């Protein structure tokens, strides 16, 4: 469901409606996906940890927002398919994404269901959109989290301007990193919007159940 924001109002206006807020959220998400200078470009992705040694603990990390589509209600992330987050999402495909805009003192928490795309057309489309520099990240021969002897012993991808020590172990066309690439398509189930401006804070929660949508004001 899409909304049209009241054009003459801004986030600081107390007359902002719930419809204005959810529309502004998607605007910020779209800007974050398209421009690395925008505050919503680097959200925190939180998953349920998978027990390895001892009890499972929550896991959180910074990721890059690659696409945001309000019409399809989708947020897209990329990752290495060998990363631990893949096992975590496979076991529990619900995640929380946390975005923050320090200028507006605005936090947005998104609870979403995630679908993994590895060896399918959706992943192929995402891979085709990756720049050469982004693709090189997935050409590392060692899995994320594996212990190494020195900082660059993971065969870091080259930079055209300044090659890293170790270079790339295999840069042939048949080993271009696609086999290590995965796209995460997050379908938001709820948005939790919190404005921390003075003199008074505001908070609103939006929830989807299928195509049905509900928004409400809550205590910050």
Instruction: For residue 186, tell me if it sits in a domain.
Output: yes
CATH number where 43 lies: 2.30.110.10
So what's the pLDDT on residue 25? 96
Q: How many domains does one find in the chain?
A: 2
Please tell me the predicted confidence (pLDDT) of residue 12. 64
Same-domain status, 73 and 93: yes
Residues 26 and 69 in one domain: yes
Please give the Cα distance from 168 to 159 (Å, whole number). Answer: 10
Residue ranges in the chain modelled with pLDDT below 70: 1-14, 51-54, 155-175
Write phi, then psi, for 14 (nearest 5 degrees): -65, -15
Same domain, 188 and 94: yes
- Clarify whether residues 172 and 99 are in a common domain: no
Establish if 40 belongs to a structural domain.
yes
Q: Give how far Cα 79 sits from Cα of 37, 91, 117, 135, 149, Å.
A: 20, 17, 10, 11, 24
Residues 170 and 61 in one domain: no
**2-35, pLDDT tens digit by residue?**
444 445 556 666 678 999 999 999 999 999 999 9
**CA distances to 13, 72, 186, 194, 215 from 20, in Å:** 11, 19, 22, 14, 11
Predicted local distance difference test score (pLDDT) of residue 76: 98
Whether 201 and 163 map to the same domain: the answer is no
Q: 157: domain range?
A: 141-176
94 and 149 housed in the same domain: no
pTM: 0.85
Question: How much is the pLDDT for 125?
Answer: 95
Handedness of CA 146, 126, 96, 109 (dihedral sign): positive
Q: Within a domain: residue 4?
A: no
């Amino acid at each position: 469901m899409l909304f049209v924001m009241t054009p003459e109002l801004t986030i600081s206006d107390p007359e902002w409606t719930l419809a204005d807020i959810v529309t502004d959220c998607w605007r910020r998400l779209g800007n974050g996906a398209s421009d690395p200078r925008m505050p919503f470009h680097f959200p925190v992705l939180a998953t349920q940890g998978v027990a390895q040694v001892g009890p499972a603990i929550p896991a959180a990390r910074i990721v890059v927002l690659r696409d945001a589509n309000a019409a399809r209600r989708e947020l897209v992330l990329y990752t290495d398919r060998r990363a631990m987050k893949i096992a975590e999402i496979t076991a529990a495909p619900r995640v929380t994404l946390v975005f923050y805009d320090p200028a507006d003192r605005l936090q947005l928490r998104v609870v979403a269901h995630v679908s993994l795309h590895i060896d399918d057309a959706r992943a192929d489309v995402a891979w085709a959109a990756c720049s050469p520099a982004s693709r090189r990240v997935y050409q590392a021969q060692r899995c994320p989290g594996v212990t190494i002897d020195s900082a660059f012993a993971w065969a870091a991808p080259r930079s055209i301007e300044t090659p890293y020590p170790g270079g790339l172990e295999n840069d042939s066309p048949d080993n271009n990193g696609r086999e290590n690439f995965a796209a995460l398509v997050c379908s938001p189930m709820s948005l939790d919007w919190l404005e921390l401006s003075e003199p008074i804070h505001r908070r609103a929660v939006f929830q989807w159940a299928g195509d049905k949508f509900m928004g409400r004001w809550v205590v910050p």
